[in-house]
Structure 1
Amino acid sequence: MTQNRIPQGLALTALVASLLTPLSAKAEQEFNADLHARLPQAIRDAGEMVAVNNGSFPPYEIVEGTDLTGATADLSAAISEIIGVEIHHASVAGLSALLSGISADRYQFAMGPVGDFPSRREGNDFVNWVQEYVVFAVRAGNPEGIEGLETVCGKRIAVMSGGSAERVLLAQSEKCEADGDDAIDMQSYTDQPTSILAVRSNRADAFFSSQAPLTYFVQQSNGQLELTGVGLSNGFPNLFQGAVVPKDSELGPVLLDAVEILMENGTYAEIMTEWGLENNMITVPGMNLGEAL
Structure 2
Amino acid sequence: MSTTLARRTVAAVLGLASALVLAACANPSDGGTTEVAAANGGTTRINLSPDQKRVTTAKVDSIAARVPEEIRKRGTLEIVDSSGSAAPLTFRATDNKTVIGVETDIAHLVADVLGLEPDINTVSWENIFVGLDSGKYDVGFSNITVTEERKEKYDFATYREDNLGFEAKKGSGLKIAGPADVAGRTVAVSSGTNQEKLLVEWSEENEKAGREPVDIKYYQNDSDTYLALQSGRIDLYLGPHPTAAYHAATTGRTEVVGTYSGAGATLQGLIAATTKKDNGLAEPLADALNHVIRNGTYAKVLERWGLSGEAVTASRINPPGLPRTDT
TM range (shorter): 0.7 to 0.9
Match of 2:123 among 92, 101, 110: 92
Give the C-alpha shift of residue 176 in structure 1.
2.5
In structure 2, distance between residues paired with 1:27 and 1:233: 27
Which shifted more, 63-72 or 263-272? 63-72
Against the structure 1 CA distance between its residues 129 and 197, is the aligned structure 2 distance closer, same or farther, given a 3 Å change threshold?
A: farther
TM value normalised by structure 1? 0.84
How many Å separate the matches in 2 of 1:80 and 1:221? 34
How many residue pairs are counted as aligned between the two chains?
276
**2:92 is aligned with 1:67:** no
Q: Does the residue aligned with 2:143 lie in a helix, a strand or coil? A: strand
Aligned residue among 61, 65, 83 for 1:33: 61
- The alignment-based identity, stated in percent, is 24
Q: CA RMSD in A?
A: 2.6
Question: Structure 2 residue aligned with 1:199, among 224, 229, 245?
Answer: 229
Task: Output one character per residue of 1:77-112: Cα deviation in whole Å (capped at 9) or x when no partner.
Answer: 222222111111122222x33223212212111123
Give the one of 47, 61, 68 matched to 1:22.
47
Distance change in 2, residues 1:101/1:160 (3 Å): same
Q: Return the alpha-carbon distance in structure 1 between the equivalents of residues 229 and 132 of structure 2.
A: 32
Check whether the contact 1:57–1:191 (CA below 8 A) recurs between aligned residues. Answer: no
Judged with a 3 Å threshold, the aligned counterparts in structure 2 of structure 1 residues 232 and 164 are, in CA distance, closer, same or farther, namely: closer
Distance in 1 (CA, whole Å) between partners of 2:223 and 2:269 is: 22
Gaps of 5+ in 1: 1-14
**Structure 2: gaps spanning 5 or more residues:** 1-26, 35-45
Preserved contact between residue 77 and residue 119 of structure 2 (Cα < 8 Å): yes
Q: Deviations over 1:1-36 (max 9, x none)?
A: xxxxxxxxxxxxxx9x95555276345421222222
1:77 aligns with 2:108: yes
SS in 2 for 1:257: helix
Change (3 A) 1:174 1:198: same
Q: Secondary structure at the match of 1:52?
A: strand
Q: Which amino acid aligns with 2:68?
A: P
Shift of 1:183: 2.3
Structure 1 window deviating more from structure 2 (236-245 vs 27-36): it is 27-36
Does the CA-based 8 Å contact 2:79-2:139 persist in structure 1? Answer: yes
Q: 1:255 aligns with which of 280, 285, 291?
A: 285
Larger mean Cα displacement after TM superposition, 245-254 or 56-65: 56-65
